[in-house]
Amino acid sequence: MSDTSTLELSLPTAARTRQSKSGELGLLLWLLPLHALVWTLGAWLASSNLDTPGDMIENYAWGIEWQAGYAKHPPLFAWITAAWFRVFPHTDIAYFALSSLNAMAGLFGIVALAGRFVPRRLALLAGVAMAVSPLYSNLAIKFNANSVLLSIWPWAAYFFVRYMQTRGWVSALALGALAAAAVLGKYFSIVLLLALAFATLARPDWRARLIDWRTLLVAAAFAAVLAPHVHWLVVNHFPTFAYADKRTGGTFAAAIGRFGIYTLAQIGYLALSFVALLLMVRKRRGEAAKLMAASIVKPSMCPDLWWLTLAPLFAVGLIACAARTQMASVWGMAQWFAVAPLWLTVLHRAGIRLEPARAVRVLGGYWLIVLAATTTVGYLGARHNSDAAAEPRAELAAAAQDMWKERFGSDVPSVAGSVHEAQSVAFYSHGHTQFWSMGEPQTTPWLQLGELDRHGALFVCRANDVPCIVQARWITGEQPDPVTVHKHAWGRELAARQYVFFVVAPDR
C-alpha cells in the first residue's frame, strides 16, 4: 500500500480520536457542576437548619447593610451573601447552593492553574481530585470568612502564574484585584500574599518580573480594590484588628505545638484527594504514589508548583509562631490550590498515564456515599431531636412575622435579642427586617435605639436566656409574650422550643 493510501486511512482515525477526546472533555466539564448539585442536596438532607454556630445567618444580617467593613471581618463574604439573596429565596437549600457554587468556582480555578502545566484533559483531574477533599465539600458547605477564600485563592494563583509566564497587563490587573479581594474576604489572606512573594523570590524567572513596569499594575489594582475598606478602617479606628488580636497570645512553644497540629490536620484533609488521583492512574500506581509523595519534599521535581504548594504553609507557620496565634485547622482550607496540579504535573512528566474517564466512576461512587451518609445523618438527627435538627429557626421567624402582620399589617422592621434567634428572624424575613445587636450596639451602627422606637422592633429571646430577657424588658419597657415553636422534619414533629417576644409598637 502506498504512503498516500496509508495517510488517507489514518485521517479518519485521527479525526475520531479528536472527536472522542472532545466528547470526553465535555463530559468531564459537567462533573464539577454535578458535584455542586450533589453537595447542595446532601447538605439539605443532613441538616434541618443552617450551621449551628450561626455564621451563615450572621453573614446575611451584616451583608444587607452593605458596609465597607464589619465588626469582626472585612466585608466580601457578607456582600456576596446579600447579593445572592437579592435574587434567590431565603431558604436553607438556596444558601447551601451558594456554598456549593463558591466551592465549584474554586475547583475550576484549580483546573485553570493546572492547565498552565499539563494538557487540559488532565487539568480537569486536578479539580476532581480536590472535589472529594473535605476542604471543598463538607467544610465548604458552611459559607463564611474561611470558605469564601476557596473561590478566590486558586484564581489569584492562576493569574499570578499567567502573569509570570506571559507578562500580560490583563493578568497583572486581575492578579492585583484578586489579591485585594482575598484580603477583603479575610485578613488571613496575608498568607497568600506572603506565599506569592516567597514564590516570586525563589524562582529566578519570576524574580525578574519585579522590575517589570507591569508589576505596577498589580499594585495599582490591589490598592484600588482595597481602598474603600482601608478608609473604613481608619474612620472606625480599626475594629476588625481588635477582634483578630483576641486570637493571639500564649507562649512560643505553645504556638509551635498548635502549628504542628494544624499541619497534621492538613495532611488528613488531603488524603482523599491523594487516593482519588491514584484511582485515575491506569498502571504503575505504586510508582505514582511514590512520585506524588516525593513531590512534596523535592522541589526539583516541579519548582514552580512546589513553591505555590508549600509557600502558604511556610507563611502560616511564620505568622502563627511570630504572633502566637491560636490556629484553627480550617483557617488554611484554601491554601492547597496547587497540590493537585503539582501531583498531576509530576505524573505527566514521568510518563505515567492517567485515565480521565475514570473520574466519572470515582466521583459517581463518591456521590452515592455522600447522599447515603447525609440522608442517614439527617434522619438520625431528627429522630434523636438533636439541636442541629430540632432548633426551629425558620419556624420562629414565621411565627414572629405572622404575629407582627396580625398586629401592624407589615413585616417586622427591626429585630434584636438572643443573637442567633434575632438574626434568624432577619434572614427568613425575605429582606425586610434589619438586625440590631442589643449586647453590642456599636457593631450594628446602621440602626440606633431611637429608630427602633419610631419604626417599631421585635425583641426575641430564648426562654432560658435570662440576661436577654432582663435587658429586653429594660430597653422596651414591655412585658414578655411567651411563644412555643416546633418544627417538622422527616415526617416527625420535633421537640418544641420556648421563646418570649417583646414588642415595641411603631409610632403611628
Type of residue found at 489: A
Q: Where are the domains of the chain?
A: 20-371, 391-504
For residue range 210-257, what is the model confidence (pLDDT) as tens digits? 888 889 999 999 999 999 999 999 999 888 877 666 666 667 777 788
Mean pLDDT of the chain: 89
User: Is residue 460 a contact partner of residue 499, using CB atoms and an 8 Å limit?
Assistant: yes
For residue range 131-184, what is the model confidence (pLDDT) as tens digits? 999 999 999 999 999 999 999 999 999 999 999 999 899 999 999 999 999 999
Confidence class for position 1, pLDDT limits 50, 70, 90: very low
Cell of 344: 498531576
Look at residue 9 in the predicted model and tell me its pLDDT. 45
Confidence class for position 357, pLDDT limits 50, 70, 90: confident
Quote the CA–CA distance of 128 and 361 in Å, as a whole number: 11
| H-type alpha helices, 208-251 | 215-235, 239-245
Tell me which residue of 405, 429, 425, 417 sits closest to 460, measured CA to CA: 417
Pairwise pLDDT comparison (29 vs 46), residue with the higher score: 46
Cell of 277: 488521583
For residue 214, CA distances in Å to 143, 162, 217, 503 come to 35, 13, 5, 59
Look at residue 11 in the predicted model and tell me its pLDDT. 47
- Against a cut of 0.75, is the pTM above it? yes
Quote the CA–CA distance of 172 and 219 in Å, as a whole number: 9
For residue range 404-425, what is the model confidence (pLDDT) as tens digits? 999 998 899 999 999 999 999 9
Q: What number of helices (H) and strands (E) belong to the chain?
A: 22, 7
- Strands 434-435 and 481-485, bridge-based pairing: unpaired
DSSP states of 107-158:
HHHHHHHHTTTS-HHHHHHHHHHHHTSGGGTTTTTS-STTGGGGGTHHHHHH
